[in-house]
Amino acid sequence: MKSRYVIIASALFLSVASFAQKNEIKAAEKAIKGGNSQEAITILDGAEYLITNAQDAEKAQYFFVKGNAYLDLANKNVEEGKNLSLAAKSYKELLELEKASGKVKYSTQAATSIAEIKGKLINSAIADTKASKDADGAKKLYEAYMLDKKDTINLYYAASTYVNAKDYDSALKLYEELKVLNYSGKATYFYAVNKVNAQEDYFTTAADRDRMVKMGTHEKPRNENVPSKRGEIYKNIALIYVQEGKMDLAKKAVSDARIANPDDTSLILTEANLYLESKDMVTYKKLISEALEKNPNDVDLIFNLGVVSAGAKNNIEAEKFYNKVIELNPKYINAYINMAALKLEDEKAIIDEMNKLGNSNDDMKRYNVLKKKREDLFRSTIPYLSKAVELEPKNEDVVKTLLNVYSALEMTTEYKALKAKM
């Protein structure tokens, strides 16, 4: 009799517990509808111990309502980043639960909410980086990646943003993850101009883009080829090791990368840059020669050689490489921009010397010499900046630089003509 009483009491306890958790979930739903999602979370947190032994249907509803409450708070800008993460965690627990049980009720809505959260995390991360809150932005980008691991570009951006935040340990961890995934990032993007607003639209496939062009809604189709990012990834791994004084690990990282990706010439540049950092000019020049031997007419490679040379303050070599790029591809805008920037680097030294001069006759003579030298320097940039503006008239930075050059040289006619086109 006593044993039977215990069984009945246990059954009664379970039914009471089930009734209680249903009431708690309903109360939480009511709180959300009333605009008080924080109260809903408090109610659900208080009922969490009841959920452990609940049926799968109640558990699923619990996670769904909790996710909705966190998402609502995030949408109201209440600790947005934190609540987006907590909402995503609840929805993911729901998805795992319904997948395991085979009973799908809330998964479709949860998946839609997760996609929404992913977009919000990315947009919030962009806002963080613009506000120089790189560490916060990197964390959100990584969380966006964790929500959708197929979208590996968010892992890449998270690593890069951690570098900007100078959190090298976190960056290194993510770069190593990218290495394991053998991430490349090489892609082709498809664009066409929308005839309604004259803005360029992005299309996921060439077929989608071409269909819209054929329908007459878009025009001026173009493709943009994005090169492999492996070289940059391994380079950053190596540079982090350099930053930490671990040169042997840096060299090994690049060496391993080249073995794994023998056809990726960008890795030769990475290794060359590493030996440049360690002042080993013999190995550096050997690697540069190897890169050119493999691809003597690869404009991207030659351009990057120019960038590496400019970084080493070897401006004569850099200028030679940029000119070679222009010779091979007269429409390679970055070569013109970098050539102009290379020449403008000398202006600071001229200005510094001019500012130190006094009012003596010798100083005035020297001032006039420096003034002419500065004017000649500005004139030397005009062909490159003009060509860059011709190739990309909407590039505000290049246009402003050319306007400044015209202004400094008192080229009023040219200044007004360019200003009128803005």
Beta strands 218-226; 200-203: pairing state: unpaired
Residue 218 region by backbone torsions, left for phi larger than 0, else alpha for psi between -120 and 50, else beta: beta
Instruction: Determine if the pTM surpasses 0.85.
Output: no
Instruction: Determine the pLDDT at residue 221.
Output: 93
Check: CB of residue 389 under 8 Å from CB of residue 399. yes
If 0-12 CB within 10 Å is exposed, 13-18 middle and 19+ buried, where does residue 193 land? middle
Instruction: Determine the pLDDT at residue 215.
Output: 93
The amino acid at residue 248 is: D
Instruction: Determine the pLDDT at residue 50.
Output: 63
If 0-12 CB within 10 Å is exposed, 13-18 middle and 19+ buried, where does residue 92 land? middle
Check: CB of residue 333 under 8 Å from CB of residue 325. no
Q: Rounded to 5 degrees, what angle do the CA atoms 182, 188, 194 make? A: 145
Question: If residue 189 lies in a helix (H) or strand (E), which one and from where to where?
Answer: strand 187-194
- When computed from its CA atoms, the radius of gyration of the chain, rounded to whole angstroms, is 30
- Name the E strands within 132-256: 187-194, 200-203, 218-226
**20-131: which CATH topology?**
1.25.40
Check: CB of residue 384 under 8 Å from CB of residue 339. yes
Residue 343 region by backbone torsions, left for phi larger than 0, else alpha for psi between -120 and 50, else beta: alpha
The amino acid at residue 326 is: I
Q: How far apart are CA 378 and CA 381, in angstroms?
A: 5
Q: Is 193 helix (H, G, I), strand (E, B) or coil?
A: strand
Instruction: Determine the pLDDT at residue 21.
Output: 57
Could you tell me the two tokens for 71?
Answer: 């998402």
Instruction: Determine the pLDDT at residue 5.
Output: 43
C-alpha to C-alpha distances, 17 to 49, 52, 299, 408, nearest whole angstrom: 10, 11, 71, 81
Cα torsion through 10, 12, 15, 16, rounded to 10: -110
Instruction: Determine the pLDDT at residue 53.
Output: 66
Beta strands 187-194; 200-203: pairing state: antiparallel
Instruction: Determine the pLDDT at residue 286.
Output: 85
The amino acid at residue 205 is: T
Output the tens digit of pLDDT for each of the chain's 422 residues: 444 444 444 444 444 444 345 677 778 778 888 888 888 888 877 767 666 667 778 888 888 888 888 888 988 888 887 888 888 888 888 888 888 888 888 888 888 888 888 888 888 898 899 999 999 999 999 999 998 888 899 999 999 999 999 999 999 999 999 988 988 888 888 899 999 988 888 887 899 899 999 999 999 999 988 888 887 888 788 888 878 888 888 888 888 878 877 777 777 877 887 787 777 878 888 888 888 888 888 888 888 888 878 887 888 889 999 999 999 999 999 999 999 999 988 888 888 888 988 888 988 999 899 889 999 989 999 999 999 999 998 888 899 999 989 998 889 999 888 888 87
Check: CB of residue 313 under 8 Å from CB of residue 368. no
Cα torsion through 284, 288, 289, 293, rounded to 10: 150
